[in-house]
Amino acid sequence: MADHFLAHPTLLGNPTGLQAWTKASAQYRLINNHRGDQAPISARLTALTEAKLRSAGVTVPRR
């Protein structure tokens, strides 16, 4: 999934829009962790995707 986003950077959206999420860490944490215990595979996929995007230099809010 991360490779797809890296190959098509327009899908990542506006980088300035992500800055609003970095300033709203409580909201991001709430949304990102919602039902993570009921869908652990989805939570793990999200974590892996975020890690790969960060390693490629894409700004992704921290949990």
48, amino acid identity: L
Is 0.75 topped by the overall pTM?
no
Burial 18-36 (b: 16+ CB within 10 A, else e): eeebeeeeeebeeebeeee
Q: What pLDDT is attached to residue 56?
A: 94
Which CA distances in Å does 26 have to 6, 9, 41? 27, 26, 23
Q: What is the pLDDT along the chain (63 residues), one digit of tens a residue?
A: 899 989 998 888 776 665 666 566 676 677 666 666 777 887 888 889 989 999 999 887 766
Q: What pLDDT is attached to residue 14?
A: 73
